[in-house]
Structure formats: C-alpha cells, structure tokens
Amino acid sequence: MYKQLLQSNKKSIAVWGTGYIGLSTMVYFASENISTIGYDIDEQKVKNICDGILPIPELESWFGFKIDNLVETGYLNATTNYKELINEDTIIHFVAIPTEKDGKPFFKILEDVLEKICELKTIHLEHKPLIIIESTLTPKTSENLIIPIFEERNIKVGRDILFAVAPRRDWFVEGNKSLRELDRVFGSTDEESNKVTREVLEIVCDKLHAASSYRVSEMVKSIENAYRHMEITLANQLSIAYPNENMREVLQLVGTKWNIGTFFPGFGTGGYCIPLSSQYVVQGISNDNHLSLLRETIKTDNQINILIAHSLIKKGFKKIGVLGLSYKGNLKVSILSPVIPFVEELKKNSVYVEIFDPFFNDEEIKEITGLNSFNYPKELSKFDALVISVDHDEFKVFEDAKEYLKNCKYVLDNLGVWEEKLKSYKNIEYHVAGDENWLS
Ligand SMILES: NC(=O)c1ccc[n+]([C@@H]2O[C@H](COP(=O)([O-])OP(=O)(O)OC[C@H]3O[C@@H](n4cnc5c(N)ncnc54)[C@H](O)[C@@H]3O)[C@@H](O)[C@H]2O)c1
C-alpha cells in the first residue's frame, strides 16, 4: 500500500540531511517518479538542488545523469524550512544527517532532527509515518536514544509510527557500487515496520537482507567497517614491526590466498566510515577491558600519520609539497583525511608545507589545513621533498610533473602513483608506503 501511495504521487518522501547519503536517496526515488523533499541547514546546498545543480559534483558520474530533469518534473525538492516535511503527505522519513563531529561519534544533530519529526504528532495522519535511519549509529542508539525520544512525546513505535534502521554501504567512487546494486541490510521494531520498509526500499534497492530486528541492522554497519579498520591497521602495524622488510610486497602476496583480502600499509584511514567504525563499536559497551583489538586499532591508526611526519622531519627536509588533501582519489572529501594531522605535525616541527589538490581551491585548502596551496606542476620545483597522498587522476600523468623535480631529493608515495616512473631515478630517493625503510 505504501509503495502504491508513493508511486501514484499521493504521498511523498522526506529526507533529513541532503549530503552524499540523503541526496542520493532523494535522487534514486525521484528517478522512479516519486516525489521527494530534502531538508538541510546548508542554504547553498538547498539552493543548488532547487536550481537543478548537484551540490556534490562528483555524484554525477556515480548517478550517471544530471539532476536538473528531476527538479523540472517536480520529483526532487529541497528546503531549509523543516515544517515543509511535517505534513500528512510525507509518509516516509529518511534520516541521513551526520552522526559524527571532530572525529568522534556525535548524536546531537540526530536528537534535534528526531524532535522535529515528533511534530508529526500534531498532524492528523491517515497512515503511520515510517522513519528509516540511514546514518551510522553506535550499537544500542535506537534503544537508548531514538525510541525514548519518541516515547517521551507519547509516540509509540509500532502503534503510532513505524521504524527501521537501514544503514548504507555505497562507494561513491565507483558507479557500480550504487544504492540499487549493493546488498542492503535493514531491521525494524515490529512486523508492520518490517513489511513497509521492505516495500519502500525495494523501489530503489535490488538486494535486501532483512535482519531479525533493528538492533542487528544497527550493529552491522559499524562492525563490518571495524573489520576493515582492523585489517588496514594491521598492515601498518606489520610495517612498523618489520621496518626493514618490504611489507607491501609481502601483503600483496598474502592477498593471493583465496580467503584473504589485500591490505597495504599507508597513511591510515579517512572519510566518515572506516576511522569512526571502531569508535562506534567500542562506544556501545561499558566494559573497558573488552574489544582490545579495536581499541588498539584506533590508537595505531591515529598515530601512523604522526610517525610518517617524524620520519620526514628526521631527514631534515625544509620544504615539503603534499599532493592531495582528499582521503581518497578522485573525490572531494577531506573529512578525517589522514593528511590533515600529518601536515599539522610537520608544521608544529617548523617544516614549511604546501598542499595541492585539484578538487579544492586555495581558500578551501587554507580553511581546512591553514596552509597555502601551490601551482601544480610548475611550483613542484620549490620543494626538496614531495608526498603523494592520493591517486587523483591528475597526479597519474607523471610527464606533467617530471621537468619540475630538479630540486626534489625525496618522494613518499602513499599508493605508488609514480612507482613505475620514479623507482629508476638516481637523484631522488623514492618510497612507496610499506616498502623497506619507508619509515626510517
Ligand atoms: N558518505 C558515505 O560514504 C557514507 C556511507 C555510509 C554511511 N554514511 C553515514 O551517513 C550519514 C550522513 O553522511 P553523508 O556522507 O551524507 O554526510 P554529508 O556531510 O555529506 O551530509 C550530511 C548533511 O546533513 C546536513 N545537516 C547537518 N546538520 C543538519 C541538521 N541539523 N538538520 C538537517 N541537515 C543537517 C549537512 O548540511 C549535510 O548536507 C553519516 O552518519 C555517515 O556516517 C555515510
């Protein structure tokens, strides 16, 4: 029934937070000719969406189309006035706001949004609204925080509203890891919530997995990423423990075993998901003696970029150029980028550093890191050492950079972008993260 109500445009979808997750939810439903409205506190983002301009331009290649048509046809709408989402027409509410701040789990925004959603109570509702949480949660957040917020306002989950937790796994770099194609886990509080959630999600997701409850689906997201966090960090611990060995090559060959993934040493994790995952999992328990593996993972991952900075400080470089601020290639995301604490440490130790990243302008680089940007590739000649932190396509064209490396004595390449070209250079000491003595 909910599906028909949406498909016949009698009812619409509300999305709280129109960033990567929220906007992509809106766009996928709007592409199915379902009316969506997103609420955000970011006025520019809302204006862009209303003008048919993607506020996150990289999403265009992920979607494979522009959004202007969806705005013209009226299926994609955005507002800074949340009251426009509190009405009898919006029966499905996706929550996709940040649940982290300054590198730590943070739930104040979630509380604020849920309190606004509770205003639905004042409206005469023909159908129970369904609230689907897409944001990442610490285990037990629904039980300890979300459901009590509803109940304090005499809104009973199951009786007055429907509720589900359906975390996201999209990888916004590759178009084939989209909302439609990736396996999606969801879990609900009761049978009706479960049925309606499936009905709604299957409009845009092909592979759904129903967990037995919202408690389970809530844990899946942080635990699956905590596994990755631990494996990535183990690669760094191995490299620190065996500094004279080429751990990169060892791990590449380890990864040829049928049941093992390939993880390389490097600058550490970045972005919203992996660095925070272990913190969410650990935050869910009160016993400090449990999950020592994850506690150690958090510690090592936070320290690796500091260790890398000190290996360069020790070598006495005075001017270091850093290529890349994003935590991932071809993406404009600096959230928890390991480059930020790395350059901070260099600065603290009086090393002159500048950053170039084609996805960020000079002002943005200044605001995020306090550092100046430089002209790439021409001003590479200013530096006696270079650090390539990500594999943006622009950095892969070595020929562009080659003639400006006259003063460069050392290159540290996180992902081996220049490996083929530079390893035979006589005047430049070249290291890929994880090779022998890269941290010495
Ligand atoms: N980006 C990913 O790859 C990814 C993947 C899976 C899960 N997640 C999770 O999804 C959630 C959202 O992530 P994202 O990448 O979309 O973040 P984002 O920063 O791209 O978007 C969040 C949006 O929420 C808005 N916002 C902030 N405060 C608000 C408020 N009080 N009311 C309304 N809007 C508000 C921001 O302006 C922003 O537009 C997080 O919990 C994140 O951990 C993200």
Average of per-residue pLDDT values in the chain: 95
Q: Is residue 220 part of a domain?
A: no
Whether 397 is in the pocket of ligand 1, judged by its Cβ within 6 Å, is no
Same domain, yes or no: 59 and 116: yes
Q: Is residue 315 part of a domain?
A: yes
* H or E element at residue 208: strand 207-210
Same domain, yes or no: 69 and 97: yes
Number of structural domains the chain divides into: 2
- Going from the C-alpha of 404 to that of each of 84, 286, 377, the distances in angstroms are 55, 55, 7
Range of the domain at 81: 2-212
Distance from Cα 209 to the centre of ligand 1, integer Å: 23
Ligand 1 atom nearest to 45, measured from its CA: 39
Q: Which two tokens stand for residue 276?
A: 């925070």
Peptide bond into 265 cis (omega under 30): no
Specify whether the CB–CB gap between 130 and 200 falls below 8 A. yes
User: Residue 60: what pLDDT?
Assistant: 87
Tens-place pLDDT, residues 77-93 = 999 999 999 999 999 99
Q: Which of 147, 180, 212 is the last residue in one of the domains?
A: 212
CA distance 197 to 26: 16
Residue type, 122: T
Q: Which two tokens stand for residue 291?
A: 């999950």
Whether 41 is in the pocket of ligand 1, judged by its Cβ within 6 Å, is yes
**Can you give the CATH number for the domain in which 13 is found?**
3.40.50.720
> In this model, does residue 433 exceed pLDDT 80?
yes
Distance from Cα 106 to the centre of ligand 1, integer Å: 12
Ligand 1 atom nearest to 273, measured from its CA: 43
- Going from the C-alpha of 340 to that of each of 56, 209, 330, 392, the distances in angstroms are 21, 37, 18, 17
Q: Which two tokens stand for residue 411?
A: 């290159």
Alpha carbons within 13 A on the beta-carbon side of 292:
1
Q: Which of 212, 239, 270 is the last residue in one of the domains?
A: 212
Q: Which of 186, 212, 238 is the last residue in one of the domains?
A: 212
What value does the mean pLDDT take over residues 392-416? Answer: 94
For 62-67, the CB contacts below 8 A with 24+ separation are: 62/24, 62/172, 62/173, 62/174, 62/175, 62/178, 63/24, 63/27, 63/175, 64/175, 65/31, 67/27, 67/30
For a ligand 1 pocket test, name from 272, 328, 335 the mutation site with the most ligand atoms within 8 angstroms of its C-beta: 272
CA distance 2 to 200: 7
> In this model, does residue 244 exceed pLDDT 80?
yes
CA distance 382 to 398: 17
User: Does the pTM of the predicted model rise above 0.85?
Assistant: yes
Q: Which two tokens stand for residue 181?
A: 């194609």
Distance from Cα 415 to the centre of ligand 1, integer Å: 28
Distance from Cα 417 to the centre of ligand 1, integer Å: 30
- Residue 121 — pLDDT band, cuts 50, 70, 90? confident
Distance from Cα 135 to the centre of ligand 1, integer Å: 7
Distance from Cα 98 to the centre of ligand 1, integer Å: 4
Same domain, yes or no: 192 and 320: no
DSSP, res 410: E
User: Residue 166: what pLDDT?
Assistant: 98
Whether 158 is in the pocket of ligand 1, judged by its Cβ within 6 Å, is no
**Nearest CA residue ID for atom 11, ligand 1:** 135
Tens-place pLDDT, residues 20-66 = 999 999 999 999 999 999 999 999 999 999 999 998 888 888 888 88
Whether 77 is in the pocket of ligand 1, judged by its Cβ within 6 Å, is no
What value does the mean pLDDT take over residues 201-221? Answer: 97
Element counts in the chain: helices (H) and strands (E): 18, 15
Of 128, 166, 147, the C-alpha closest to 25 is: 166
